[in-house]
Amino acid sequence: MKKILLASVALFGFAGAASAADLPVRAAPPAPVIAAVPVFTWTGFYVGVNAGYGWNTNDSITTLDGRRFDLNDEGGFVGGAQAGYNYQIGSFVVGLEGDIQYADFGGDDRFDFDGDGILDDDFNRSDWFGTVRARAGVAFDRALIYATGGFAFADDATGWTVGGGLEYAFTNNLSAKVEGLYVNLDQDDNSIFGIDSDAEFGVVRAGLNYRFNTY
């Protein structure tokens, strides 16, 4: 009797194990995929616009060969567009930028040709200028502090420029900047009257840039 009872228990045990083996296996749910947050970089091409204020830094009156030469040192509006490229290496950013500017300041220089103390004629200065500059700075995530300098040009003048600025990227593609420049242009001298008509002026401007990199 005991043998029959033990055999019955063993039979039911094997049958239960076989039924459990036939049940589907429940796999663990897959781990959720979390997209990596893109790291911001200043690397990439950009274009933008700017506007600000410019003023002549020349002396207002100069004497050449005993005759009077008046330099108009008024200030006025400056505005234009820029394009460039940045490359970021760690915290350092280097790049190249070119811009073209409309300049509405310091429009006339007057000279006393006959020496009678009366300023006779006007020399209309160029109402535009451009620069091609290197930029180098240090990035603090989305903030960039930089120095800049390079070549400057106008109608009949070439020279140099130097300055610096602060730029901040408030989205992955848009950034705003504040920049100051000193520009020195060596204009064509008038050999007949002995006029050295170099132009020196300062510019403070704000700008907006759009960068073409994705992040």
Looking at residue 36, what is its pLDDT? 54
pLDDT by residue (tens digit) across 141-190?
999 999 999 999 998 889 999 999 999 999 999 999 999 999 998 866 55
Length of the chain: 215
Q: Please report the pLDDT score of residue 31 as a whole number.
A: 66
3-state SS record for the chain: CHHHHHHHHHHHHHHHHHHHHHCCCCCCCCCCCCCCCCCCCCCEEEEEEEEEEEEECCCCEEEECCEEEEECCCEEEEEEEEEEEEEEECCEEEEEEEEEEEEECCCEEEECCCCCCCCCEEEECCCEEEEEEEEEEEEECCEEEEEEEEEEECCCEEEEEEEEEEEEECCCCEEEEEEEEEEEEEECCECCCCECCCEEEEEEEEEEEEECCCC
* Predicted pLDDT at 61: 47
Give Cα 115 to chain centroid, integer Å: 48
- β-partners of residue 212 are none
The predicted structure's pLDDT at residue 127: 85
What is the pLDDT, as a whole number, of residue 124? 46
pLDDT at 75: 81
Which residues in the chain show pLDDT less than 50? 5-7, 9-12, 14, 17-18, 20-21, 23, 60-61, 63, 119-124, 191-193
